Structure 1
Amino acid sequence: METALTTPHNLIDTTIAREGTTYVLVHGAWHGGWCWKTVAQILRAHGHQVFTPTLSGLGERAHLLSKAIDLSVFIQDVVNVLEYEDLTDVVLVGHSFGGLPITGAADRAPRRIRQLVFLDAVVLEHGQTAFSRLAPEIVAGRIAQSNETSGGLSIPVPPASAFGVFEPSQVALLERNCTPHPLKTFVDPMMLNGPVGGTIPKVYIQCVDPVYEPLQASRDFVRAQEDWAWDEVETGHDAMISAPEALAAKLLRYAS
């Protein structure tokens, strides 16, 4: 098991982040900007600016859930933060499903982004869908759950254990705040003008304790690339919940 940051092409300096770094942290499926609260507090305490947008139809925006929410809406959610806040030199982080909107945003607004961080994330190439990266039995199960619970509108929230979260207060946080996820975002293809992330420096952080198995196809893709760095964090899939201090320390290093 690898534990050290690997930089085959010297993409990332591991010194502490310079002051004034801007982070945009994008959550995964069923979550919202709320899940980054502790990580954001740590980064801000180090003098950095942090944005934690909530994607349409989730979290405090759950009242907007509709069949009109597709992957392009999620991507626009992130692009709008970059553009309307006039952000540049951004460290753009995507957790899990958040890997999709940050990939799309990097394709549309590459000059605003300094570094891409894929935190135990789904990684798609042009024309692929989130479901195309999952095992057929997982896809069938999620579609069946969606049809049973919402007529195909959304996928219900999995148990906290699915995210590698077991500590009672953390489980309660997820059970209280997670919301059904728009199904259409899983079936929409990623539309890109070039390779994933283009020439922006990219790092993939795998959560290794326990390993989140549905992401294996994405990890295999990253491992086959020559221009991606790799790192690991010793916690479960929801690292921002189960190990916020360790995750924040990683993000501070990658920002330099």
Structure 2
Amino acid sequence: MTAFVLVSGGHTGGWIWRDVAARLRSAGAEVHAVTLTGLAERRHLAGPRTDLETHIEDVAQAIDHVDASEVVLVGYCYGIYPSAGAADRRLDRVARLVYLDSPMPQDGCSMLDQVREQMPQGAARERMLGMRERADAGGLVPAPTLAEWQAHGNLAGVSPEALARLARLASPMPVGPCEQRLRVSDAVAALATTGVFCTTGGTMDIATLEGLVAAGLPLVQHLADPRATFFELATGHWPMLSTPDELAGVLLRAAAGEGHRLAAPAAAHGGA
């Protein structure tokens, strides 16, 4: 049996996977939706020492408590950082690492480092880089208001009911995990991976990634590995809320090794 360990992003928790988890379980999968320390129903555990290492240990412990022999680890948005760190510590347990509308974490970089270096200029970027200034004395960034979700959340496809639930259940986010630099080995890049791009309002899709690989960008060359697969969802940044059926189907296909594969650069074949 395949087990999915689902790791959400900032201001949310395991509750956000409710509909996707139900569909995966109905297909016979084991599902564990992780709530990171300091978020959602674990918000009371947040403190000045809550950092990325705390969240990596949360995910590693979730993997340790899986009964199935194969774990498909799904990191969404910020959640890919603790997921990558935990995968590096549990290489023998993780069969596939899924990047769900998330960046590609790099050793030695924090989430905010990568936002600063890679995210296009705009209000969303500036809002993320201003987390420390918005944090309270305990290092907690207040949850967005409904108006702020609507302005900055890329909520394409999310129903009014789902948006209301998001705004109601959102929790403060510890800023420490976003500032701490991730430390991972090269073994993480060697794992079987799947990237899922949400293309409505997004900045990356399969065609763009193929162009980066073809251009020889070193950061993405390993993604031409046959074990790396890719999917697109025509929705905004919250597919677990907007298209849970489609997302569950994509995750099941990813676990089976399906998906689009990138062509290796011509130079790798000695092409002209």
* TM-score w.r.t. length of structure 2: 0.78
C-alpha contact (below 8 Å) 1:29/1:98 kept by paired residues:
yes
Number of aligned residue pairs: give it.
Answer: 232
Amino acid at match of 1:132: D
Matched residue of 1:22: which SS? strand
1:135 to partner: Cα distance: 3.4
Please show how residues 125-136 of structure 1 align to structure 2 within 5 Å.
Answer: 125-135=106-116
C-alpha contact (below 8 Å) 2:30/2:68 kept by paired residues:
no
Q: Tell me, which stretches of 5 or more residues in structure 1 are unaligned?
A: 1-19
Identity percentage over the alignment? Answer: 31
Q: Deviations over 1:193-235 (max 9, x none)?
A: 225x24221111111112168xxxx997865433343221111
1:154 to partner: Cα distance: 2.0
- Partner Cα separation in structure 2 for residue 69 and residue 122 of structure 1: 22
1:254 to partner: Cα distance: 1.0
Aligned partner (choices 200, 204, 228) of residue 195 of structure 2: 204
C-alpha contact (below 8 Å) 2:112/2:128 kept by paired residues:
no
Matched residue of 2:92: which SS? helix
- Partner Cα separation in structure 1 for residue 42 and residue 28 of structure 2: 28
Q: Measured at CA, do residues 101 and 144 of structure 1 come closer, stay the same or move farther in structure 2, by a change above 3 Å?
A: closer
- Partner Cα separation in structure 1 for residue 238 and residue 92 of structure 2: 29
Q: Which has the higher contact order (CA 8 A, sep 6+)?
A: 1
* TM-score w.r.t. length of structure 1: 0.82
Matched residue of 1:131: which SS? helix
Q: Tell me, which stretches of 5 or more residues in structure 2 are unaligned?
A: 257-272
Amino acid at match of 1:43: L
Say what the alpha-carbon RMSD is for the aligned residues.
Answer: 2.4
C-alpha contact (below 8 Å) 2:2/2:69 kept by paired residues:
no
Amino acid at match of 2:154: G
Matched, 1:65 2:65: no
1:102 to partner: Cα distance: 1.1
Aligned partner (choices 160, 164, 182) of residue 149 of structure 2: 160
1:75 to partner: Cα distance: 0.5
- Partner Cα separation in structure 1 for residue 100 and residue 62 of structure 2: 20
1:83 to partner: Cα distance: 1.4
